[in-house]
Amino acid sequence: MRKPIMAGNWKMNKTRDEALEFVYQVQDALPSKEKVETIICAPSIILRDLVKRQGDNLRIGAQNMHEKDSGAYTGEISALMLKSTEVEYVIIGHSERRQYFNETDESVNAKVKKALEVGLKPIVCCGELLEQRENGTTHEVLDTQISKAFADVCEDSLSNVIIAYEPVWAIGTGKVASPEMADEACGYIRSLVEKLYSKKAANEIRILYGGSVSTKSVNELMAQPNIDGGLVGGASLKADSFIELCNACVK
Ligand code: 13P
């Protein structure tokens, strides 16, 4: 059985004080690590402070990294720098990075490989635009994103990989995908993993849904067979709703 994951993506939100207050508020109310893998992906400047205060039931991740080891890339952060803060996870290829920072399937692939090389667990994002959903090319888009993201990634590494299906039209819009639609897409991604690797890999990999997940929609989403958890933006910012989301993942 796949252990559920609830991951908050704070994006560019929270000062250090606000972040520490959040951890203080949620710590004792989150489910145990045996039941749910609970993650907060925070702005890089506060990662170390959060890592120092994380517990077994709340782990910390970053939101991005550069694929090169070091060099003249002003403002960027390498995988080894993240590793040195002792974070465990890193989001890679979020649609906001693809849209505003020109990330491509090729850079996503380079980042996934680098993250795995240094021992970070990548949360690899994919998902279609509204026009792609409307013109019926969602499967093609997912096909390309997944096959390129995992080019030259070996099956042994997959136990450290999480995939997040985030339809771009559902992110921050309040328009959550229906549970059936989200499950169909996550099931399709699982079939791609089977095609690229094996049935075992497809059965074991955790696939999250992201896009306007809220305390109202989480139960139905989590009841779907192919959805193993959520990658949540807005609803992860408040302690009480994050606690509710995490508890909704307990199966
Ligand atoms: P919202 O939950 O705010 O729609 O954001 C989803 C997301 O982008 C998580 O990575």
The residue to mutate among 5, 11, 95, 98, having the most atoms of ligand 1 within 8 angstroms of its beta carbon, is: 11
* The pLDDT of residue 182: 98
pLDDT tens column, 46-90: 999 999 999 999 999 999 999 999 999 999 999 999 999 999 999
**Cα(47)–Cα(189) distance, rounded to whole angstroms?**
30
Q: Which helix (H) or strand (E) holds 206?
A: strand 206-209
Q: Is the CB of 231 under 6 A from ligand 1?
A: yes
234 alpha carbon to ligand 1 midpoint, in Å?
A: 6
pLDDT tens column, 188-237: 999 999 999 999 999 999 999 999 999 999 999 999 999 999 999 999 99
Q: Which residue's CA lies nearest to atom 1 of ligand 1? A: 233
pLDDT band with cut points at 50, 70 and 90 for residue 185: very high
pLDDT tens column, 89-107: 999 999 999 999 999 999 9
Is the alpha carbon torsion for 123, 224, 221, 179 positive or negative? positive
Angle, CA 234 vertex, CA 42 and CA 2 arms, to 5°? 70
Q: Could you tell me the CA-to-CA distances from 4 to 14, 25, 30, 123, 161 in Å, in that order? A: 26, 22, 13, 14, 14
72 alpha carbon to ligand 1 midpoint, in Å?
A: 31
Identity of residue 248: A
Backbone angles phi and psi of 50, in degrees to 5: -70, -40
**Cα(172)–Cα(182) distance, rounded to whole angstroms?**
16
For the chain, give the percent of residues with pLDDT over 70. 100
Q: Is the CB of 212 under 6 A from ligand 1?
A: yes
Q: Is the CB of 11 under 6 A from ligand 1?
A: no
For the chain, give the percent of residues with pLDDT over 90. 98
For helices 105-118 and 138-149, the axis angle rounded to 10 degrees is 40
User: Could you tell me which of 164, 43, 64, 143 has the C-alpha nearest to residue 107?
Assistant: 64
CB contact burial 216-243 (16+ within 10 A = b; e otherwise): ebbebbbebebbbbbbbbbbbbebebbb
What positions carry a catalytic annotation? 94, 166
* The pLDDT of residue 251: 77
Q: Is the CB of 9 under 6 A from ligand 1?
A: yes
Runs of H (alpha helix) within 27-177: 47-53, 79-84, 95-100, 105-118, 130-134, 138-149
